[in-house]
Amino acid sequence: MNDIWLLDKCFNKWPMLTDCIGLEGMLLQNFLLRDGNWNLLELNRFFNGNMVNLIVQHSVIHEGEEDQMELLYQLSSKSISAMAYAEIIKSHNHYDDSKFANWLRKLKLKPKVELFWWRMSRFAIPTNEFLKFRRLCNSDLCARGCLEVEDYAHVVVHCKFLIDIISILRSWVSTFHFSSLADCLFQLRHFSKVSLDTVKIYCTTIFCSWNCRKDVKHANSILPISMTAANILFTATNNYPMLVNWDASLLKESEASWHPLPPDWIKINVDASLLDSHTASIGGSQRFQGKIAPSLR
């Protein structure tokens, strides 16, 4: 009874009109009429109105193979995310997840990003669509105010906040924008063979966008979109030398070895810092023939 969940409660916690012991020894056929329809009289003897409404939503199959024993899995202490997968995967059984985990590992993403995408591929993240279905929230719309149902396609492709981040990233580096969830999963596998770094950036973008969504959901402070985009590049490019110098826009120069400047040149070093209070400062120094000139601030 504790391992079978209906919406937001396990079966044992649903209110009953009689003791659960009264159900002992009863079979499904005890609740069916001879014509194959539900016996509402018997159902109302043991279950309250809400549960009866859930039961009668399942149509009775009058034709087909005879019933067979089915293996039951224990779901004690199962997380909401795991239950999300168990429910949502039923409507996504057309999706082929073969070798997805192996492909995901080859991307060498950050561990948290990789775990998030694995859960995403298994439809195991708690979107508002799922939470409303389980009666854990009142609305299935996007937490950021997109006025669209927050399903998996919305999280990965259609969210307006995500599109704004991608627009900023496109002004800095090359990235993707897809038309559907199926198109996204298919194209990411394809482009990982020819543009691996771009795939890493997109995967990290979805992860950071989901984290921002969680901050909005829990009324936490959120970063500006431009700072979110910068954090995405920092996270995605930390281990990839090709992208480390994205801000310089000097690919050829950054690929070549550095050479000392001629003796009669002046070398200028500039650095900047940003504090958590959003206070910024910038400074620099000049070096000529081994001597450092007064600093600039």
Confidence of residue 27 (pLDDT cuts 50, 70, 90): confident
- Residue, of 21 and 34, whose pLDDT is higher: 34
Closest CA to 261 of 282, 229, 286, 224: 286
pLDDT score of 221:
87
- Residue, of 62 and 41, whose pLDDT is higher: 41
pLDDT score of 243:
42
Look at 60-69, 159-168, 212-221 and tell me which has the smallest mean pLDDT. 60-69
pLDDT score of 71:
54
Is the pLDDT assigned to residue 56 strictly greater than 90? no
Whole-angstrom distance, CA of residue 156 vs CA of residue 61: 37
Confidence of residue 256 (pLDDT cuts 50, 70, 90): very low
Confidence of residue 281 (pLDDT cuts 50, 70, 90): confident
- Residue, of 77 and 31, whose pLDDT is higher: 31
Within a 10 A sphere around the Cβ of 145, how many other Cβ atoms? 10
Average pLDDT over residues 240-255: 41
Whole-angstrom distance, CA of residue 99 vs CA of residue 183: 17
Phi-psi domain of 213 (left: phi exceeds 0; alpha: psi -120 through 50; beta: other): alpha
Average pLDDT over residues 56-60: 77
Whole-angstrom distance, CA of residue 38 vs CA of residue 82: 31
Helix (H) / strand (E) element for 80: namely helix 80-88
CB contact at 8 A, 165 and 223: no
pLDDT score of 241:
40
Q: Could you tell me the end-to-end alpha-carbon distance of the chain, in angstroms, rounded to an integer? A: 69
Is the pLDDT assigned to residue 58 strictly greater than 70? yes
Provide the token pair at 137: 């929230």
Within a 10 A sphere around the Cβ of 233, how many other Cβ atoms? 20
pLDDT score of 253:
39
CB contact at 8 A, 246 and 170: no
Average pLDDT over residues 159-178: 88
Query: Is 273 exposed, middle or buried, given 0-12, 13-18 or 19+ CB atoms closer than 10 A?
Result: exposed
| Percent of the chain's residues with pLDDT above 70 | 70
Whole-angstrom distance, CA of residue 198 vs CA of residue 180: 18
- Residue, of 239 and 66, whose pLDDT is higher: 66
Is the pLDDT assigned to residue 156 strictly greater than 50? yes
The rounded mean pLDDT for the chain is 77
CB contact at 8 A, 59 and 36: no
Whole-angstrom distance, CA of residue 198 vs CA of residue 236: 9
Confidence of residue 267 (pLDDT cuts 50, 70, 90): confident
Phi-psi domain of 249 (left: phi exceeds 0; alpha: psi -120 through 50; beta: other): left
Give residue 185's Cα distance to chain centre. 13
Is the pLDDT assigned to residue 208 strictly greater than 80? yes
Look at 8-17, 29-38, 91-100, 225-234 and tell me which has the smallest mean pLDDT. 91-100
pLDDT score of 164:
93
Confidence of residue 13 (pLDDT cuts 50, 70, 90): confident
Provide the token pair at 108: 């060498």
Is the pLDDT assigned to residue 36 strictly greater than 70? yes
CB contact at 8 A, 157 and 178: yes
Whole-angstrom distance, CA of residue 165 vs CA of residue 113: 17
Is the pLDDT assigned to residue 207 strictly greater than 90? yes
Pairing of β 266-274 and β 280-288: antiparallel
Please state the pTM of the whole predicted model: 0.56
Confidence of residue 275 (pLDDT cuts 50, 70, 90): confident
Give residue 82's Cα distance to chain centre. 14
